[in-house]
Structure 1
């Protein structure tokens, strides 16, 4: 079984970058919901690309009518703009402006993705008790991390923190 690896940073530049990116993510969610509400699709799941976080589709409930300007994409399993219509082109342009921010991309000194141990990995990241924690499902090359900004954390310490924070919430 792979060994999870955790890093922590309480450096002001890391914490503030994460907080700013997280605030941008909350704003994105608000803007996305406003766009969907105007289109009669409020509360639907959204689909976005992993590569550049563009919003590409909206969840669809079986049996519901497909709104004007949309089509059901069987490959993605969601509604996408119908680019052969003027309305679909307007929807696509509106969605193109809704690029989902990713706080992991803003964290100085910590890569978001890495190829290590024969696998492509993406880190998880969260702010807990004033520090940003980044975790990986397996070991990563330590030279990929800026150790002037980040420090390794024992798994026992990390899990105790997660349990403590979970109890408070």
Structure 2
């Protein structure tokens, strides 16, 4: 199975609102091989500026969407995670700010820690925007975000990992 075939079911399921699935459809979807073994980060998260990430993670890889309150629509998100103990994770993901509505000629990467006891992801991020060489000094912006869980992935209730 190619990489698209592997991640497509996870991306589709990450984008399906839990309310739109009947209990039988949710159970059937969660019993597929693609949905087995999801990590505890899977679901929808919101930061202090109301930007949202919807992610699915499995076998060390994060896939999903980033919907910025200052951007136009959602952007693909890809990353990695490491489980550091029974409940907590080190995480990192990147977004290229180009979609069907906008090309901001920039990327951003977040790195941080998921604290399960607080159900938050605390991150530091850096954004690089294309500038001409004489303006290179203004290429980078850095800050921090704290993401709080809005909704767990529906399959986490059916198969905990």
Same fold, judged at TM 0.5 (above): no
Q: So what's the TM-score if we normalise by structure 1?
A: 0.28
Q: So what's the TM-score if we normalise by structure 2?
A: 0.29
Compare relative contact order (CA 8 Å, sep 6+) and give the higher one, 1 or 2: 1
Structure with more helix by fraction = 1
Greater C-alpha Rg: 1
